[in-house]
Amino acid sequence: MRQDLTCPVELRSWERARDDRGRVRVYLKVFNLSTREIREADVVLTWRGEQGERGEKKVSFENLNWAARSRQRLTVTLTAGDVQVRAVRFVRLAFAGYEKEWIGRRERFVSYPGTPGIRDARLARRLSVLAGPDAVCFPRRDSDSWLCVCGRRNLNDRPRCVRCRRRRETVFARYQKEKVLEARLPHGAEDAARRPLTQFRQPVSAREKYLRQKKLLWRRTAMLLILLCLLLFALWCANRAAAPRPNTDVIPPVRAAQTAD
Report the C-alpha gap between 180 and 124 in whole angstroms.
9
Report the C-alpha gap between 45 and 150 in whole angstroms.
26
Report the C-alpha gap between 147 and 145 in whole angstroms.
7
Q: How far is the CB of 72 from Zn ion (least distance, A)?
A: 19
**Cα–Cα distance list, 38 to 12, 20, 55, 105, 259 (Å):** 17, 32, 27, 19, 88
Q: Is 152 in the site for Zn ion (CB under 5 A)?
A: yes
Q: How far is the CB of 207 from Zn ion (least distance, A)?
A: 31
Q: How far is the CB of 163 from Zn ion (least distance, A)?
A: 5
Task: Taking the CA atoms of 251, 253, 255 and 260 in sequence, report the sign of the dihedral they define.
Answer: positive
- Nearer to Zn ion (CB atom), residue 78 or residue 162: 162
Q: Give the 3-state secondary structure of residue 189.
A: helix
Q: Is 137 in the site for Zn ion (CB under 5 A)?
A: no
Q: Which of 36, 124, 163, 210 binds Zn ion (CB under 5 A)?
A: 163
Q: Looking at 11-19, 117-125, 154-162, 220-228, which segment touches Zn ion (CB under 5 A)? A: 154-162
Binding mask 233-252 for Zn ion (x = CB under 5 A): --------------------
Q: Which of 150, 153, 206, 210 binds Zn ion (CB under 5 A)?
A: 150
Q: Is 172 in the site for Zn ion (CB under 5 A)?
A: no
Q: How far is the CB of 162 from Zn ion (least distance, A)?
A: 8
Q: Strand 140-141's sheet: what is its strand order?
A: 140-141, 145-147, 153-155
Report the C-alpha gap between 162 and 63 in whole angstroms.
24
Q: Is 7 in the site for Zn ion (CB under 5 A)?
A: no
Residue 96 near residue 39, CB atoms below 8 Å: yes
Please report, as ranges, the residues that interact with Zn ion according to CB under 5 A.
Answer: 148, 150, 152, 161, 163-164
